[in-house]
Structures are given as structure tokens and as C-alpha cells.
Amino acid sequence: MAFRKTIKMITPDSAKLTLKGRKNMSKQVIFHEGYYLEYTSDPAAKTGRMEAIMDELTDFSVITPSPATIEDVLLVHSEEHLVRVQNDYDQVYKCALLAVGGALLAADYAYNQQPIFAAIRPPGHHASPDGYWGFCYFNNVAIAVRYYCIQKQLRNALIVDFDLHFGDGSNNTFRNDPLVTYYAAEGTTPNDFIANLIDFLAQMSEVDFLAVSAGFDRHEADWGGLLSTNDYRSIGSILKTYSEDHGKNRRFACLEGGYNHSVLGKNVRAFIDGFY
């Protein structure tokens, strides 16, 4: 199988900044105007969702990714899976390739010790090697992690998922892979949730790479009804500290869930404030 060439680093000076007023800013986010497209009728694709995030990040420079290649997708998914998405959902297929491209670019920044958040869609953590559901089609984070495990011969990697829903696709991808640990954070109260995350990280050994499936649907005003906006800031800070102390300062996060547009942008902003 042919593998993707090493991604050329895109800096704020060389990136295509497609949104007005986004130049000469020290903070960065990965985003593409193609993510605004309402590619299906599901909640993750709804109009206004990405606008809610980007309207909150007006002081960030925007770094635009390119679509992933077929070879990238095949690092995790079967050819039958890819063809099924392409044949059944032409518009989704194009958006999904762009989302994978955003995750790959985020991983490139992370590998070079530049923490970053990718505001991408469709989400991905429910996409398994040969199946998909839950608004997900290709597993963005899993593809990016596997690409870097192969390309950079990483010793190990950790995926932390704080979405409301268990990332069965990510778990199915890596459950027999000794290089990658997948952890889905859980808790019945906000304090339990944060404590469980801290306890898990305290038991983890050193890793070469930290990837985060960042879902915001556990917010108290979203489907999960549990976490506050400040809790997301705390989660970001906890992951930052772990990455700096035990993960070679290599970390990136990709958007998964989060469906209440009135709070989504603030939650993403709070997480980034802690994570960067």
C-alpha cells in the first residue's frame, strides 16, 4: 500500500486564511469553509453548528487543510467501506475526506510540538474499519494516529475521548493494536468525570503522542446534561499537563459531538484555553 507523503508544515504566514479578519493572530485553529456545508440532515451536519464555533474563535488564525487521499482512509478502513460511503453519500464522501485531512494536519502540528484543535466535520469516532453509524463515516482521529504510528514509527500513542458516547469505532480499530491505547472518559458527576480522567492518566506510562476525540455533547445544556463550560477548560488543562510531562508535548484534538449551538462555541473555546 502506498502511504501518504509527509505533510508539509503550514504556518500562519503560508496558510490560506479564508475567513476575513483572521491574519496575524498568534492562536490557531484548523478549519475549512467546506465544513459549513450541510451535507446530510443529521445533527452533526446541521447549519449553524460550525458557525457557532468559528464565531467564538474570531481571534484565531484559520489554517485550512486539504482533503485526505484514498490511501490515507485505507490505513484504517476497508476498501469496501470507502466505496460504500462514496456510492451512498457523494456529498458526505467529499466532506469526510476533508475532515480526515483536517485531522492529519492537526497530527502534523502535534508531532512538531504545536498543540492544535481541528474544528472538523463529519465526526469520526463511531466509524469502524468496516462499518459506520452515529453521524460518522471515516474515523478522523484513528486515521491520523495510525498514519503517524507508521510514518514516524511511534513507540506508542494514546487517544482520550470525552464525548458523551463511547467511540466504538476507535475502540474496534485499536483494540488489538499494542501501539495505541483508547480511553473513553466516564463519570456520573462532574467531579467523578474529572477524577476518573486524572486517575487514568496517572496510571499511564510515557507516550509519544496524545490525540483527543473532543465531544461537547456531555455539557449540562446538551444531550448529556453533566459538564459545565469550565469543566471543559479543566479537561483541556489536565490533558495539556499530561502531554507536557509524559507525552513529549505532542497533542491535538478533533471535534466529535456537541449539538447545542448556543453553548458549543463557548465550550470549544474553554477547552482550547486549557489545552493550548
Residues tagged active-site = 126
Residue 215 to residue 207: CA distance in whole angstroms: 22
Q: Are 12 and 28 in contact (CB under 8 A)?
A: yes
Task: Write phi, then psi, for 71 (nearest 5 degrees).
Answer: -60, -35
Q: Are 235 and 271 in contact (CB under 8 A)?
A: yes
Cα separations in angstroms, 214 against 1, 94, 130: 30, 22, 23
Task: Write phi, then psi, for 272 (nearest 5 degrees).
Answer: -60, -40
Alpha-carbon 265 to chain mean position: 15
Residue 93 to residue 105: CA distance in whole angstroms: 18
Identify the three-state secondary structure at position 210. Answer: strand
Give the end-to-end CA distance of the chain in Å, rounded to a whole number.
Answer: 35
Residue 93: other Cβ atoms inside 10 A = 21
| H helix intervals, 79-178 | 79-88, 90-111, 140-151, 168-174
Q: Environment class of residue 87 by beta-carbon count within 10 Å: exposed (0-12), middle (13-18) or buried (19+)? A: exposed
